[in-house]
Amino acid sequence: MSSTVTLQINSQRLIKNLMFSFTNKTTFLSELMQNARRAGATFVRFSFDEVWPNTLVVEDDGAGIANLQNLLTIAESGWDETIQAQENPFGMGFMSALFAAQRITVHSNGKRLSFDREEALEQKPIIVEDNPTDDQTDVSTRIELYGIGLTLAEVTSAIETAAQGFAIKVFFNGKECRRPFAWDNLMHNSPSIYDAVLSLPNLGGIAFSTHNTDFEVYLLGIKVYQSQKYKYFGGLSTIIHLDPTLFTARLPDRQCLIDETTAVETIKRVIKSWWAQHIEPQIGVISDEALISKYWTVLTQWDLPDVLTQIKAIPANYFCKYTDTPMCYRSDGDSRNNNMDDIDGKLITEEQLRTGELIACHNTPDSLYGYNMIPALIAYLKGWIILKQHLPLNHWIHDYALDLAEGEPTIAYHAEAEGMFYGRVDLLVKTYKQPITLSWQGHIVETSDVPVVFHDSQSYKCIALAPDVFLTDNLLLMADSYSYDEFELFDGQLEDDGNQLCLVIQSLNNTSPARLLETILNQGHFNLPNAKGSAVLVVTDDRGKRKVVNMTHVLASDFVGDMAYELQSLLTANAA
């Protein structure tokens, strides 16, 4: 025997569960604002008394409510055909207020409705009373909500946020709320702030900002999307008021867009296209400096490479220079320090690079590998400018900027002496006095006063060429970053290794043993009270190993012959 089923609704349970349909507990405030706007009001006025029973009063001067039954009818908005067609009201807005208060009283068009929340949820009949209005008042609808479960701070924040882009005036506790992003304010008060304020087909109204690529999206005056989750201080965002006939927010509270990903991609595509069409005709009409000053952020962040490459200049802050020898990457957590600094001026032009007035490069090394520090050294010694920020692959800068990671660098040198240094990084140190020659991609430079570090592929050793006079930190930081990460720099070890490396180089440069010993002693805090009156002899073998011999009894001798005999015996014993 067959049977049939039909779609049915447990209306009482559905009604009670509707309270979970709204995104947050302040949603009802923006819903009441929307009802006032749809009624043709010129303002909506809120008054809140935090003293129990936490009363919120909402007033507007719109057309009023023709049928109070519509307030308590789900999916029946009661709005006229124009509103229905343009905004698709869901008929749930007042329900959010029902769940927000314990008792509600409504005055509109000479009628009065007053009830407890539970009465309505249990679907009990509620009496509509006559309530003659005062002809002197500017209010057509007054809604009183008792027992609001919100603090003054929560109500204030929610109303002020909802008012930001709202179409009609909003008042709270006697003060008008700011509406800087309302469409009428954008149109009439912001031409000097935004690059353009206009309406675009297939989208809606847009106020274009050149400050950044952040944008805020409003639908029916309420924000439904923000490109940045957290708002930072960085200039005004682009403001978009979507056409409600083309875009729909998720019902019932309209806090976000339906199919948000697709909608946002559409918005981005329209904005990007408009910027390209707006900027391109200005190229060649106004100066490159003016174009860059006004539109560079837009061109780079909105990814407009075809327009960008037509401008034959780049901001100077896209480049830097070596101020000292290149080094491995290290950071103090706030900024990167690779011995680089910004360059002077406002612009770098294509003409400067084409004529050779300036030479640009990029891809500086972050760590030592093979001979990769040599091109960077050439860039430092020749004063090349370094492109430090990304530009599209089709940009003309890539026709001129030398890639420091390409090619085979070479070095020609004559070492005076060599010896091993053992520290955080082990180095075969070679001293030089005659100029060394660095070559890369046809660029050649001779130098006699900078260190050079490279990995030798034949000996598998890290070679460090050291001139007579230089800062040992330069050599060590060319070999290693002396850091674990950007929050842990081994500066103490760098200082210790620098002192030891200095001694190695002095030894290789034939500095006298007495002077070396004096240098060693001067580097420490020499305070040994228990050694008062003592003397020692430091003897080194042919491998540089040292032995310390007590000389006190020798120095105490009264006879030169005895001293000479003792010294000879000590030296002979040490050599053995």
Query: Domains plus CATH for the chain?
Result: 11-176 (3.30.565.10), 183-292 (no CATH), 314-508 (no CATH), 529-575 (no CATH)
d(CA 401, CA 386): 8
DSSP structure class, residue 165: T
This prediction has a pTM of 0.75
d(CA 99, CA 205): 34
For residue 87, the model assigns a pLDDT of 47
Torsion from C-alpha of 322, 325, 327, 331, nearest 10 degrees = -50
Residue type, 154: E
For 542, the token pair is 């042919």
Residue type, 570: L
d(CA 476, CA 75): 75
For residue 98, the model assigns a pLDDT of 84
For residue 513, the model assigns a pLDDT of 64
Residue 333, class by beta-carbon neighbours within 10 Å (0-12 exposed, 13-18 middle, 19+ buried)?
exposed
For residue 329, the model assigns a pLDDT of 86
For residue 517, the model assigns a pLDDT of 63
d(CA 464, CA 48): 76
Which portions of the chain are predicted below pLDDT 50? 79-80, 83-85, 87-91, 233, 333-335, 525-531, 554, 559-560
For residue 70, the model assigns a pLDDT of 80
For residue 234, the model assigns a pLDDT of 52
pLDDT tens digits, 125-134? 999 999 876 5
> Other CB atoms closer than 10 Å to residue 13's CB: what's the count?
9
